Structures are given as structure tokens and as C-alpha cells.
Structure 1
Amino acid sequence: MADHPAIQHAVPYHAQWASPDLVPAIISGAMDAADDPLWPKYGAESPEEYAWWSWRLCGVACLRMALEFWQGTSPTPMALAAECVEAGAYVRRDDGLDGLIYAPFAAYAERRWGLYAESRPGLPATDIPELVAAGRLLMLSVHPSIRELDASPPRRGGHLVLAVGVTGEHLLIHNPSGFPGGSQQFARVPWAVLDRYYAGRGVVLGREP
């Protein structure tokens, strides 16, 4: 990727939890998400509702970042989650949640927010620099261990991050479940190791259709 110029979009950051500094403790199990003191900012009706949804809304965190970048504001995570459920981008089950489902999500993002949004079940890493250079932000499916650049994740995909920049050597991401001081904002993922985590699919977002 060395032939591509470096570019970094000034995208605001959101974790998928209300308190970005508490992400390591929540993920490790040292702290229950329900004990996050900032849970009311999420728009949830109770700490328990917040805790259930916060583990599942990496895609909503990515959308919030994109909306604030292009439109200057965004609703609460719970408000967006409710709209995504209504749009079919999330499907509630008795034991969990299916989603983010790309095609209905992209249709929702275009209809509701006036964005360009394209579901890309096939999105090669080699396409990423050109799309970012064209002003797009990319929701990419990666394994959550990308936050620590673990050498051997058990699989690819399962978590969404937002691609916000590129250099010749790195992809720059905002990771909703990243750790403060290293893997949350503008986290650098070497192109040489991206394939360990990246499932080759995602959603391309743009300011205009």
C-alpha cells in the first residue's frame, strides 16, 4: 500500500460504552458494564438495559462517529439502536441480537440520514486506500482482538471498526472497543497483519449519495 498518500479524516471518537476509559475493565470482566457511572448518557432506561446493549453496539458507535463528522451531531446509542431494529438492521432474539445486518443498515443510513451507504459483502483490503482518499469512512468487520494486535485470533470478523485514514504502512481505525492510549482513536494497524483480523466485508459510508 506504499504507493498511496497518507490521509487522516478528523473524525470524532466514540466507544461502544459510555465511558471510554473504563473499556479495559469492562472487557476483562473486572467491572460490570452496569456499573459504568455514565450509563444515563447512553439513552438507556436502566443500567441493566445499558449493559446488555453496550456489548452489541459497535456498529452504532461507528455510525455516531460518522454522523458527528459529517453532520455535527448524533442521537444517543439507544435511539439509533431502536431505529436500526425497526429498519431490520438488528433482529432481537430471546438469547441475543442478530446484526449488524449490512444491507438493511445501509438502506436505513441513506433514508434516515441522507448518507451514501453501500453494503459491501466483498470489500478487499486493497480497495480501502482509494475509498478513504475519496472521503469515505468504512465500517469494517474485524476480530475484536485487533485492539491488541494479537498474533493468532481464532477467526476473522465479529466486530466493527471505522476506517478513518491510511498511510503507506498502516490502516488508521477508530475502534469502539479499543483501549485508551493506544487502540481507540486513530489506532494504527499494519497492512501486513490486517488480514489476520479482517473478514473482507463492511459498509462504505459517504457524506453524499
Structure 2
Amino acid sequence: MPYCAQWVSADLIKGFLSGEIDAADDPKWGESGARTRQEYKLWSGHICGMACLRMVLQYARDIDVPLFSLLSLCLKYGGYKVEDGTIKGLFYFPFVKFINAEYGFEACVVEDISIQEVLPRLNDDCLFIASVHPTIRHPENKPPRKGGHLVLVHRFEPETNRLVFHNPSGTDESNQANVVMDIELFDMFFANRGILIPLNLS
């Protein structure tokens, strides 16, 4: 499963999140497809969903679409709204309409669902974009609430009762790609909603 972050320079995410580095100074910002540094700075902290989709497309469709090209399409479907300079979204139902129409998936929004109900689907050519609290990158700390960030869950290991996911806002190699986590611990961050994407690869 390919990995990509919501900032192009994945090795600098810790600095972006702490404020030590301005996102506009990302040396690779142009690879995102953003038109300007300021556009990149404005949106890069909000496009975890676009990063998850980019990974899905690389894996399932063998195409690599720049983050801001995905964002531009998603905006046309109403996946985000900008009100008084504030970015709102990702809104799941317009997002699902977008990816199904543009890329031929049969994705669906799931709500009020336990992670245990999702797990059997992961072994059936299905990926899950899960709503979790962003502090999942530091699982030793109890989150203040659930949800607010998206990660791509791509595998379940029934023999160990652990799942594996990619986190677009992980701060280093240990919490970015192929993060392995016990189900019970993941559930502390999981908001019981997300997007199931059947791949139909066979």
C-alpha cells in the first residue's frame, strides 16, 4: 500500500504541526499541485482525506493524482466549504459521490459503526477511511475526544487482533506508514464513522 502525507515533505510534518516551520516554506510544495505557497499553506492541514484518496488511487487504479487536483475536484462536488475564510469539511456524502463518479468506486459512508464491524471487510478487498482523533500519532496519550482526522486502514491481522493503517499527518516513520495498533487502542480514537471503499480487484 503506497503512502503519502497531506504535506508533500513528510519528514517536516512535525515542524509544520508545531509551528516551527511555516507550511508555505515546504521546499516541495509545488509537487502538491497548489497554485501558490499561500494556497498550499491554507489547505495542507485540511486535506487528510485527499491524501487518503491519493493512496487509494495509487493502489487500486495505478494512478497518481496531485493532492490539489483531487481537492479541486472534491470542491466541485461540495466536499468542502469555505465560509468567512474558514474551511469546513471533509463532508463525507459529497466526497463519496465525487470518488464514485470520477473513479468508478462503489464507496459508501458508514456511521454509528464499531471498528469490530469494519474489520471483516478489510480482508475482502476493501479499504476504510476512518475518522479518528489526530492525536492517534501519540497513542500513549488519551485523546480529548474522538474524530477530526482521517486515516487509511488497509489491513487487519486477526491472529494478533491488530489493524494496520497509514496516517497522512504522522510526524515520523513510526506513526506514518503501516502503523500497527491493537483494536482496543484504536477504538479510543475512532469516532465510529468513515468511508468503506470496495476495490473489486479480482
TM range (shorter): over 0.9
Residue 155, structure 1, aligned to residue 145, structure 2:
yes
Residue 58, structure 1, aligned to residue 48, structure 2:
yes
> What's 2:116 paired with?
126
* Secondary structure of residue in 1 paired with 2:175: coil
Q: 1:79 aligns with which of 45, 69, 82?
A: 69
Deviations 1:137-178 (A, max 9, x none): 100000000011042211100000000111233211100001
Q: 1:137 aligns with which of 122, 127, 132?
A: 127
Assess if the C-alpha contact under 8 Å between 2:125 and 2:200 holds in 1. no
Distance 1:100 1:124 in 2: 21
Shift of 1:97: 1.4
> What's 1:188 paired with?
180
Moved over 6 A (4+): none
TM-score (norm 2): 0.94
Q: Which moved more, 1:41-50 or 1:53-62?
A: 41-50
Distance 1:115 1:150 in 2: 36
> Aligned runs of 1:32-111 on 2, under 5 Å?
32-111=22-101
> What's 1:6 paired with?
none
Deviations 1:54-78 (A, max 9, x none): 0000000000000000111132111
TM-score (norm 1): 0.91
> What's 1:169 paired with?
161
Shift of 1:207: 2.0
Shift of 1:201: 0.2
Structure 2: segments with no counterpart, 5+ residues: none
For CA contacts below 8 A with separation 6 or more, give which structure has more relative contact order: 1
Shift of 1:195: 2.0
* Secondary structure of residue in 2 paired with 1:53: helix
Assess if the C-alpha contact under 8 Å between 1:116 and 1:208 holds in 2. no
Structure 1: segments with no counterpart, 5+ residues: 1-10
